[in-house]
Amino acid sequence: MVNAITCGARTLSLSHPRIMGVLNVTPDSFSDGGRLYRDGRVDTDALLVRAEQMLAEGADILDVGGESTRPGAAAVSETEELDRVVTAVEALVQHCDTIISVDTSTPKVMTESARCGAGLLNDVRGFRRPQALQAAANTGLALCVMHMQGQPDTMQTAPTYADVVHDISEFLRQRLADLSAVGIDLDRVIIDPGFGFGKTAEQNFELLARLGELCTKGQPVLVGLSRKSMISSVLDRPPEQRIYASVALALMAVERGARIVRVHDVAATFDALSMWQTLSQGQQS
C-alpha cells in the first residue's frame, strides 16, 4: 500500500485520513457554483478567503475545478477552462502553503496547471481524453484516476453494471496498467471509484458498503460523497442542507479504508474524523 504521495514539491503522508477541500471556480457547479466565479471571471479575493478558511478548518489539499461535471452540465471550452483554472492556481500557489489539486480532463489545463505550481491532477474521466494520459505523464505530478460510466451529460441515464464493485475495480485495474505503460510510477497514483458519476443511488450505497474491496488493491482511495444526490434518495434535502449526511458518509468511507475525502464542509468533516482517529488510535495502543 502506498503510504505517501509526492505532489510536486510537497509530500502528502497518508498515515491518517486527509481532507481535500472543494473550490469550484464555475458559475454552475451543483452545490456552490457562482460563489467564486462572478461577472464572467474568477473572484480571486473570494477564492483566497475561502481557501484560507478551508486550511484553517483542517484541509490538507485544495481542489480547483473550472468545469462543472454535475449531471447534464454544459461543456466548457478549453480557453474558458484555462482562464478559470490558471487564474485560480496562480493565486492559490502564491498565497497558500498547501497542495493544490486541479480537477480537469483537459490536457492543456493539466500542463499549464503544473507549470503554475499545482501538485495533483484529479481527472473524473480517468485521463481518457485524447493526449490526456501523455500530458499527465509529462507533468510528473501525482494523479487521481476516477471511474465514470458515460459522460456528464448522459451518465445518469440508466447506468448498468453486472457487479458495480467488480466492474469499477476492473476499469481501475486497466487504467493503472495504461498509466504504467506510459511510464507513470504508480506510487504517485490515487484511485477514486466515482460516487455519483454514472451510478444510481442504490449502486452508490452498494459501492460504499463494499468500498473495502477497492481499498485493498494497493493504491490509496479518494472518495467524493459530499452533498451528492444519493443523500436526497434517503433524505429530502437540497445540497446546502446535506452537511450532516455528507459527514456521516465521509466517516463511513474512512472506516472502510478511504485515505482522502473530497468535501465542501471541511470543519465538520475534520471534527468527525478527529474523533474517529482518536478512537482508532486508542484501540490500537
Express each pLDDT in 15-24 by its tens digit: 999 999 999 9
62 CB-near residues (< 8 Å, 6+ apart): 20, 21, 23, 51, 54, 55, 92, 96, 98, 99, 100, 101
| Cβ partners under 8 Å of residue 167, min gap 6 | 161
Using the 8-state DSSP alphabet, how is residue 234 labeled? T
- Identify whether the C-beta of residue 281 lies closer than 8 Å to the C-beta of residue 244: no
- If we measure between CA atoms, which residue out of 63, 69, 195, 29 comes closest to residue 142? 63
Q: Which three cell numbers stand for residue 234?
A: 434517503
User: What values do phi and psi take at 8, rounded to 5?
Assistant: 65, -120
Q: Which three cell numbers stand for residue 256?
A: 472502510
Taking each helix axis from N to C terminus, what angle separates 107-116 and 78-95, rounded to the nearest 10 degrees? 20
- Stronger pLDDT, 152 or 213, i.e. the higher one: 213
Q: What is the mean predicted confidence (pLDDT) over 235-248?
A: 96
pLDDT of residue 77: 93
Range 90-115 average pLDDT: 98
Coil, helix or strand at residue 14: coil
Task: Give the phi and the psi of residue 223 in degrees, each rounded to 5.
Answer: -130, 145
Task: Identify the DSSP state of 75.
Answer: P
- Residue 155 pLDDT greater than 60, yes or no: no
Is 228 among the residues known to form the active site? yes
Are 159 and 203 in contact by the 8 Å Cβ rule? The answer is: yes
pLDDT of amino acid 252:
98
C-alpha cell at 275: 474523533
CA–CA distance, 207 with 166 (Å, rounded to integer) = 10
Cite the DSSP H helix spans in 123-242: 132-139, 164-181, 201-209, 229-232
Q: What is the predicted pLDDT for the residue at 261?
A: 98
| pLDDT for residue 278 | 94
Q: State the catalytic residue, choosing from 18, 210, 228, 259.
A: 228
Closest CA to 178 of 250, 128, 225: 128
Q: How many CA atoms lie within 13 A of 98 on its CB side?
A: 26
Q: Point out the catalytic residue in the list 125, 199, 210, 262.
A: 262
- Give the percent of the chain with pLDDT over 70: 93
Could you give the CA distance from residue 117 to residue 84 in angstroms, rounded to a whole number? 15
Give 79 or 282, the one with higher predicted confidence.
79
Look up 262 and say whether it is catalytic.
yes
Of 3-7, 21-25, 68-72, the least confident: 68-72
pTM of the predicted structure, to 2 decimals: 0.94
Kindly report, residue by residue over 23-67, the tens digit of the pLDDT.
999 886 656 657 888 888 899 999 999 999 999 999 999 999 999
Q: Give the model confidence (pLDDT) of 158-172 as tens digits.
A: 688 999 999 999 999
The pLDDT score that the predictor gives to residue 285 is 56
More confident residue, 151 or 119: 119
Q: Which stretches within the chain are classed as H helix?
A: 44-57, 78-95, 107-116, 132-139, 164-181, 201-209, 229-232, 243-255, 266-284
* Domains of the chain by start residue, with CATH: 16-280 (3.20.20.20)
| Cβ-contact 136, 158 below 8 angstroms | no
Question: Strand, coil or helix: what is 83?
Answer: helix
